[in-house]
Amino acid sequence: MVNLLEESLTWTNFFVFLFWGVVMLMLVLGFVTYAIYFERKVIGWMQMRIGPNRTGPFGLLQSVADVFKLLIKEDTIPKKAERELFILAPIITFIPSFTIIATIPFSDRMFNANLNVGLLFYVALTGISTIGIILGGWASNNKYALLGGMRSAAQMISYEVPLVISVIGVIMMTGSLNLHTIVDHQSGGFWHWNFIPQILGFIIFAIAGVSELNRTPFDLPEAESELVAGYHVEYSGFRFAFFMLSEYVYVFVIASLTSLIFLGGWHAPFPFLDFIPGIIWFLLKFSFIVFFLFWLRATLPRVRVDQLMGFGWKVLLPLALANMLITAIIMTITK
């Protein structure tokens, strides 16, 4: 094993991996910075407000200024907090969210890692982020943070179950967990995209994905009326920024996975448009889904926690199981 590692991993390969890792980190940071800006602009437009317009031309530097402010703010740690776990929690939350991006193909040639179990890799790493959120709430030694952490864990675990089951129909049709294979199975026009035969699974995935992101109308872990700011109420400065960063990185991931699994990935909606590069189609679908998430936040009110949990276990889970059963029956009949 040592000889194999020494032969395959050279200093050149190490620096190539490091370079592309830094490039991806910069792209993600750029996306997060301007996703926040455009979210504020879109919500302001929908609610007849102006949004950021002071810092930089058209307010384009407002998010940059906000990030800089977080980085230079005083880093406070409560006196009675579990110091080591308090420091570790934002890191545990962020690293899995960033690692998932390594498995996301942006086109048939633009990808980092082509895993045969790409979907399973996503499910495994999102569970680790849940642990970071629980630790952040518990280590703060604050009852509101603890309640926020427990509520967030319950919500994320509850909605992860229908989220995973909703894509089993796609896996059954494709016969693979590989994201490249799933996208290739959808070539030939939009009538081959998975959202048509798997429309129920698509709806369940979209709803459960919004809940996994802890975004409106499912942003119960951060319900100001009950929990102040939820699991990160005691965090400040760059540690607070890590939690916010991981949330928007998961927006990036969910939007990408929705495009790849249900909307044909980098394939054009009509064969005669195949001359347009695949990355353009992927970005268009990705941008539409991100806009849809902003639209939800501007439109819908927050639901109650009992409504949230009841909807996940009593509605989405049975529908996800029914979708899997119907897919199996149809595949058996048409085989």
- Look over the chain and give the mean of its residue pLDDT values, rounded to a whole number: 88
pLDDT at residue 172 greater than cutoff 80:
yes
Contact 253, 101 (CB under 8 A): yes
- Count, residues in the chain: 335
Contact 162, 131 (CB under 8 A): no
SS (H, E, C) 170-235: HHHHHCCCCHHHHHHCCCCCHHHCCCCCCHHHHHHHHHHHHHHCCCCCCCHHHCHHHHCCHHHCCC
What is the reported pTM? Answer: 0.90
Distance of CA 74 to the CA centre of its chain: 29
| Distance in angstroms (rounded) separating the CA atoms of residues 152 and 225 | 16
b/e burial code for range 133-153 (CB count within 10 A of at least 16 → b): bbbbbbbbebebbbbbbbbbb
pLDDT at residue 224 greater than cutoff 70:
no
Q: Could you read off the pLDDT of 59-93 as tens digits, one per residue?
A: 999 999 998 998 888 888 888 889 899 999 999 99
Query: Within 13 Å, how many C-alpha atoms sit on residue 137's CB side?
Result: 23
